[in-house]
Structures are given as structure tokens and as C-alpha cells.
Amino acid sequence: MDKIKEYCRKKRFLLLFLAVLFLFGLIVGLYLGIDGIEILKEDVLYYAKNIAVQSYNYLLIHFFFLTISLVLSFFAIGIPLLCTILFYEGMCLGFLLGIFSLTYGVGGGLFATIFFILTKLFFVVILIVFFLKCLEIARKMIGKYIYKTDPSIVISKHLKACFYLIGFVLIYDLFLIILGNKILPLFSFLIA
């Protein structure tokens, strides 16, 4: 636990940047949800009626984006892609909160929060850790070309951690595919 606290203390400005990026995405999503409520209200009502048959399959898209970001991190291009994904996840939360709150009131806002916690929170936390690991890979690769250092040991350690993180996300996505449409209907009373 002390190592985690120390690591977070060292990376506090980077973590603050990621939190602000996510928060900015949330604000943009809230605006879009509030602005597009009339257009999407029927879709929200349809979703609420059919919540038990909905599928939550993020497996391929998460695998694709994380793998592409990891590969592109060797060229430092993956870092902006990861920032974009984090912004997008914040925007999704804001959009969900906005549209469900305006459609169903406080219960809709609670449902949107529970939906995000169950389907996306784990991914966002892993994405932040993944971002930090990919940033280290990019930094070491840049150091290799500028300072002619040999970063192979450090990169292999971060690469191994990235593979574990991708594995955790894929296991969680499988969990969502199997149990997602069974867990979320338990909270449908909030939007009834």
C-alpha cells in the first residue's frame, strides 16, 4: 500500500491531468445529453423497456484500442490515443447522466451511475494505469533515440504489465457478456 501511495505521489500531476481530462469529457457529455434529449428520448425509453435483453459486449473494442495504443506507444503516438479514449469515457458518463436524469429524474441519474460503475469503471481505472505504463514505454523509447540508452529491461517490465492489464480487461469484458444483462435489470426499478 505504501508503494502505491508513493507512486501516486510521484505521478500526482499526471494523475491530475487525467482526472481533469475525464472531468472535461464528463462536462461535454452532460451538455450533449441535455442538448439532445428530445431527439433521443424515445431511444432511452426503448432501452429501459428492454433492459433485460441488452448485450454489453465491449470485448473486441477494448482489446483493439488497448493493443493499438500499446503498439503505438513505442512511437509515442499511442499516448494521445489513450487520452482520447479517457476523454470519450468521461463523455459517455456525462451523456448517460444527462439523458437519464432528464428522462427519469433522480432515479435515472442513479441508474446511469450504477450502469457506469458496473460496465465502465473498472475499464477506466485500468485505462489510467495502462496510460501510465504506455507513457513510460514511450518515454524510454524516446530516451533510446535521443540519449542512445538501452531501455530493454525497463520496457519489458512495462510491456508485461500492459499485457496483464489487457488480460484483466478481457476477463472483465467476458464477465459483462455473461452477467451484464442479469445484473443491470436488478436496478431497473430506478427507471420504472
- What is the full per-residue pLDDT of the chain (192 aa) written as tens digits? 777 788 778 888 988 999 999 999 999 988 888 887 777 777 777 777 777 677 778 888 999 999 999 998 888 888 899 999 999 999 988 988 888 888 888 888 898 888 888 888 999 999 999 999 898 888 888 877 777 777 777 788 888 999 999 999 999 999 988 888 788 888 888 887
Write down the pLDDT at residue 89. 92
Write down the pLDDT at residue 26. 93
Task: For helices 59-73 and 152-183, give the axis angle rounded to 10 degrees.
Answer: 170
Q: Which residues of 8-31 are buried (b: 16+ CB within 10 A; e: fewer)?
A: eeeeeeebeebeebbeebbebbbe
Among 138, 134, 139, 141, smallest CA distance to 158 is for: 134
User: What would the DSSP string read from start to end of 73-139?
Assistant: HTTT-HHHHHHHHHHHHHHHHHHHHHHHHHHHTHHHHHHHHHHHIIIIIHHHHHHHHHHHHHHHHHH
Name the pTM for this structure. 0.86
Write down the pLDDT at residue 112. 87
Write down the pLDDT at residue 98. 87
Among 59, 75, 81, smallest CA distance to 130 is for: 81
